[in-house]
Amino acid sequence: MKTHLLIIDPQNSFCDPAGELCVPGAEADMKRLAEFIRARENRIDRMTVTLDSHNKIHIAHPVWWTDADGNPPEPFTPITFEEVAAGKWQAADPDDRAWSLKYMEQIRSHVIWPCHCLIGTWGHGVYEPLSAVLNQWREKYHDLDFVLKGSCRFTENFSAIRPSVPVPGDPSTALNTALLKRIDRADRILVAGEASSHCVADTVRDIVACSENPAIARKIVLLSDAMSPVPGFEEAARAFFEQMTDAGVGIARLKEVD
């Protein structure tokens, strides 16, 4: 049986206590995952690691937005389409205002995150000790497949499969058919990473929704003790697990996986 391990955004910004958007529980998640890989290294055939990859000026970051007095929103501020349409919030750059309104009209609501996973910074890197284990594995078995997402500043990109809103003319926001095909070659797809309420949830939902294989859900196993939700979004994570269970996706703890 061919096993593909898909690790979603195991980065310092999310997993290190000093990270800009540290997810409680993520540090322990990644340490457990590292031990899991070390103990079963010869039973994992391929690994894909996704990396949230942002520039500072990004539609999800405070610097993008301003209120009527020229002040940016605080991190974790919810913004709605109605507020943008009414002028409570607008893009700081006048050239971005038309797109921002169109974007908000499609997604309706939007949470502003602290600047995180900035390309070229410590926060973008893979969290230790997981990074060391991944490097050891690829020296012995197979190169790692890295998938970068989120570099387009005009849209959120929680999912590694597709962005929240495709941006015309930007191929980086197209459906990632290559990743869909690559993971479908496996008999079993193990999924770990951060966060279960956002990037893991959207990625797995999109795998199930967008794969050409209508039975792909039955290949997927969510490693429940190798992922955690963003605080305040625990209910979203629970809803994700319930939805995926109904779709045929498996859920297991690391010690339950052969």
Q: What is the CATH number of the domain that holds 7?
A: 3.40.50.850
Structure tokens at 105: 């009209």
Range of the domain at 136: 3-55+116-256
Residue 168 phi, psi dihedral angles, 5° rounding: -55, 130
Question: Are both 152 and 192 inside the same structural domain?
Answer: yes
Burial class of residue 99, CB neighbours in 10 A (0-12, 13-18, 19+): middle
Question: Are both 144 and 191 inside the same structural domain?
Answer: yes
* Strand locations in the chain (E): 3-8, 46-52, 65-66, 78-80, 90-91, 109-111, 145-149, 188-193, 220-223, 250-252
Question: Are both 32 and 124 inside the same structural domain?
Answer: yes
pLDDT, one tens digit per residue, over 181-228 is 999 999 999 999 999 999 999 999 999 999 999 999 999 999 999 999
Question: Are both 80 and 206 inside the same structural domain?
Answer: no
Counted domains in the chain: 2
Question: Are both 69 and 30 inside the same structural domain?
Answer: no
Domain boundary among 77, 93, 111: 111
Question: Are both 238 and 121 inside the same structural domain?
Answer: yes
Q: What is this structure's pTM?
A: 0.97
Stretches where the chain sits below pLDDT 70 are none
Nearest to 26 by CA among 37, 14, 42: 14
pLDDT at 195: 99
Domain boundary among 79, 111, 143: 111
Question: Are both 103 and 134 inside the same structural domain?
Answer: no
Q: Do the Cβ atoms of 118 and 153 come closer than 8 Å?
A: no
Question: Are both 104 and 123 inside the same structural domain?
Answer: no
Q: How far is CA 12 from CA 21, 35, 196, 247, 248, in A?
A: 9, 18, 16, 32, 32
Question: Are both 36 and 75 inside the same structural domain?
Answer: no
Question: Are both 42 and 84 inside the same structural domain?
Answer: no
Question: Are both 31 and 107 inside the same structural domain?
Answer: no
